[in-house]
Structures are given as C-alpha cells and as structure tokens.
Structure 1
Amino acid sequence: MAMTTRYATSQPPRADIDDLTGATVVEFGTDWCGFCRAAQPLIAQAFHDHPDVRHLKIEDGSGRALGRSFRVKLWPTLVFMLNGKEITRVVRPRDASEIRDALALIDEPLAR
C-alpha cells in the first residue's frame, strides 16, 4: 500500500470503511481545492515512513453521504482509523509533523 494520489469519485459505503482491519487514513477533499493541493506534499512526506497504512482518498462535496457521515466540514480532512474506529483526524494540515503524529497513533499498535 502507498499514498493514493487521486481522489476517487465513487464512494464506498460507510459500513465498508467501518469493517476495514488495520490502519487506514480516509482523506476527504477535491482536486480543485487549493488547501487540498497544498497539503499533498505534506501528506506524501508523512506517508513515506508509513507505507503499510491504507490510504483512501475520497472526493467530497455537497450531497456526498460518506463525507457527511464523518461530519467533514473543511478540506482536506484526514480521518485516521484503526480497525474501523476513528482514532484522530487532521483538518487542513500545516506541516507534515501533524500528519506523522496522527499516523504514529494508528501505525504503532500494528508493530506490537
């Protein structure tokens, strides 16, 4: 697994996300969002040291059920999950360390 570079336009059902095992990051945003584009290098830097973390990049917008189920208000929103449970989230990251710290919360338990 590696960082996903394109936003998926189709959304999996929320139940499928909740059923995932292991470490997962669900990123909500759009290709045209300036904040989303600015965050991509930061996300790539952080994911470099966490290649086994699943990364789902979902296009969000008005009427999109998955984003609403996670109560996404701003883009990008990164939801860090472990075994289908939200552990933390980062909204509009300003530096890679915010993302690295959140990744450590979901990736470290896997090494134990």
Structure 2
Amino acid sequence: MNDSYASQEPARSEVDALPGPTLVEFGAPWCGICKAAQPLIAQALAGTAPLRHLKIEDGSGRPLGRSFGVKLWPTLIFMRDGQEVGRLVRPTRSEDIARELSRIVQPA
C-alpha cells in the first residue's frame, strides 16, 4: 500500500495501458474522509494478492481525476488490464474494498 499521495499524476493513456490488477485511489492528504478510509484500505489490501496501487492527489484542474469523473474523495477505481472493473466512493467498510479487490486479482 502506498502511504503518500503522488502530486504528479500519470497520463490517462499510461494508466489505461497498465497490465494486470491496479487500484487507483484519488484523494488529498488534508482530506479527513480520505484519512479515515486509510485503515480500511490497508486492511483490505493486507488480505489480497500483491497489486499496483496508485495513490493520486486530486484537485481542481487535475486531468486524471476528471477523466475518471471523480467528484468526491476518496474514490477508489479498481482496474484490470487498463479497464475499470469497479469503483467505490467514500468507502466505509473494508469488506466492500476487499470484495472489489477480489474482482481484479482473479480472472473474470
């Protein structure tokens, strides 16, 4: 699990080209709801196979978040081979995150 939000975001084309399972997390380090979700995300990730976790600092005018239609933080985008498989906005239960993770780490 990444602990810090990356202030420099990759291009959408780079994210879409990533092979295998990827969790893209949008939020901000000062966001209280994002901070509250971190233990839930950590717990869910601890129980799953290794995967790529992109933790992206989002905000006004940030193109990657806008390309995914992110409006609230944290938003978790679950991707497999560059395709969105699931999404959670402001998750409140680690079980919900784990369920979505299981969809991307196992073949469809």
Task: Answer yes or no: same fold by TM over 0.5.
Answer: yes
**Residue-pair matches, total:** 108
RMSD: 1.0
Q: Which residue of 1 is the match for residue 6 of structure 2?
A: 8
Superposed CA offset, 1:56-104 (max 9, x none): 0000000000000000010000000000000010110011001000000
1:106 to 73, 86, 104: 104
**One-letter identity of the residue aligned with 1:73:** K
**What secondary structure does 2:44 align onto?**
helix
Give the gaps of 5 or more residues in structure 1. none
| TM value normalised by structure 2 | 0.97
By how many angstroms is 1:50 displaced? 1.9
Q: Which residue of 1 is the match for residue 50 of structure 2?
A: 52
Provide the rounded CA distance (Å) in 1 between the counterparts of 2:56 and 2:78: 14
Over the matched positions of the two proteins, sequence identity in percent amounts to: 56
Give the gaps of 5 or more residues in structure 2. none
